[in-house]
Structure 1
Amino acid sequence: MKFFIDTADLAQIQEAHDLGILDGVTTNPSLMAKVGIKGTDAINAHYKAICDIVDGPVSAEVVSTTFAEMVEEGKKLAEIHPNIVVKVPMIKDGIKAIKWFTDNGIKTNCTLVFSAGQAILAAKAGATFVSPFIGRIDDGSWDGVQLIEQIVGIYNAQGYMTEVLAASIRNPLHIVRCAEAGADVCTCPLSSILGLLKHPLTDIGLQQFLNDAKVFQ
């Protein structure tokens, strides 16, 4: 399973890259605003800065909601860097735009997916990635990871090439469960990835090793 980091913070992206586990980045206008990046020119320049760090897909989200506007916006985003993947919302015109991008060699990430039916439409349109939001599904008292399992099963049965990108991940357990469910990618905050490092027995064992090593000093 590939690890994407869901942020626009260059320091966090660099830290994940330096760990050697970063495969890509997802971001959006809200995440850009959190780090003080506003305005089309500044946002596009920031996407370029992210691509200069990451040797992998970088999802850049359109803010338009009509077919023609999404196509025009997506074309401009794709021109920023070869690593750019145009993130498109799961709406009727979004599916039309994904099909257009697919036919014209532009990679896409279909976002805001909450059902297997939506995931099927995204795959039929040729989306590169489909992003089920499992944390938000959990918020509604349903199990978001079950949706990942369902989509993975459908894609395998039908031979769809779209990659399942588990999004809205809230904790390290989500990451592990998505890996078990067969997700191709997970995208999450750096804190969730770093949480995978932690286990009390590791801390206890390390401290014991250090204490024993003092005997030989």
Structure 2
Amino acid sequence: MKFFIDTANLAHIKEAYELGVLDGVTTNPSLMAKEGISGHENVINHYKAICEIVDGDVSAEVIATTFEEMVIEGEALAALHPQIVVKVPMIKDGVRAIKYFTSKGIRTNCTLVFSAGQALLAAKAGATYVSPFIGRLDDVSTDGLTLIEDIRTIYDNYGYETQILAASARHPMHIINCAKIGSDVVTAPLSAIVALLKHPLTDNGLAQFLADYAKAAELEAVK
């Protein structure tokens, strides 16, 4: 399973990349605003800066909501860097735009997916990635992981090549469960990714090893 980081924070992206497990980046207007990035030119330059840090795909989201405007904006984003994947909302004109981009060889990420039907349409249109938002479904007492399972079944039934990108993962168990049920990608904040490193028995074991080493060194020094 691929690991993407969901942020616009360059320091977090660099830390995840240096960990050696990062396959790509997803971001959106809300995450850009959180980092104080506003204005078209600043946003464009920020996407370029992200592409300079990582080797993998970087999802850049269109702001437009009409087919014609999405095409113009998406083509401009795709031209920024070979790593850019154009992020398109799951709306009627968005599906049309995905089909258009696919015909032009532009890769896409269909975002704001909350049902298997939406994921099916995205795959039919040729989306490179489909992003079901599991965390937001959990927020409204709906099992987001069940949606991942349903999409996996549908895509496997018909051989769709669209990759399932589990989005809005909030914690390490979201990541683990997505891996268990066959999500191709999961995108999560740095905190959820590094939380996978942690286990109290690992900490206790390391502390014991170091204590035993120190004790042995003391005994050797006494001889």
With structure 1 as the length reference, what TM-score do the two structures score?
A: 0.99
Q: Does 1:162 align with 2:158?
A: no
Tell me, in whole angstroms, the C-alpha distance in 2 between the residues paired with 1:79 and 1:24: 18
Alpha-carbon displacement from aligned partner over 1:120-139 (angstroms, at most 9, x marks no partner): 00000000000000001111
Alpha-carbon displacement from aligned partner over 1:115-170 (angstroms, at most 9, x marks no partner): 00000000000000000000011111111011101101110111000000000101
Tell me, in whole angstroms, the C-alpha distance in 1 between the residues paired with 2:108 and 2:145: 22
| Unpaired stretches in structure 1, ≥5 consecutive residues | none
Tell me, in whole angstroms, the C-alpha distance in 2 between the residues paired with 1:73 and 1:90: 16
Residues 5-16 of structure 1 mapped to structure 2, 5 A cutoff? 5-16=5-16
Q: How many residues align?
A: 217
Q: SS of the residue aligned with 2:80?
A: coil
The corresponding residue for 1:182 is: 182
Q: CA deviation at 1:30?
A: 1.1
The corresponding residue for 1:76 is: 76
The corresponding residue for 2:104 is: 104
Residues 83-122 of structure 1 mapped to structure 2, 5 A cutoff? 83-122=83-122
The corresponding residue for 2:143 is: 143
Tell me, in whole angstroms, the C-alpha distance in 1 between the residues paired with 2:203 and 2:117: 45
CA-atom RMSD in angstroms: 0.6
| Unpaired stretches in structure 2, ≥5 consecutive residues | 218-223
Alpha-carbon displacement from aligned partner over 1:165-210 (angstroms, at most 9, x marks no partner): 0001010000000000100000010000001011111111111111
Which has the higher Rg, Structure 1 or Structure 2?
A: 2
Residues 7-86 of structure 1 mapped to structure 2, 5 A cutoff? 7-86=7-86
Q: SS of the residue aligned with 1:38?
A: coil
The corresponding residue for 1:3 is: 3
Q: CA deviation at 1:216?
A: 2.0
Aligned-residue identity in percent: 69
* Deviant stretches of 4+, over 6 Å: none
One-letter identity of the residue aligned with 1:161 = E
Tell me, in whole angstroms, the C-alpha distance in 2 between the residues paired with 1:29 and 1:89: 12
Q: SS of the residue aligned with 2:56?
A: coil
Residues 192-207 of structure 1 mapped to structure 2, 5 A cutoff? 192-207=192-207
With structure 2 as the length reference, what TM-score do the two structures score?
A: 0.96
One-letter identity of the residue aligned with 2:94 = G
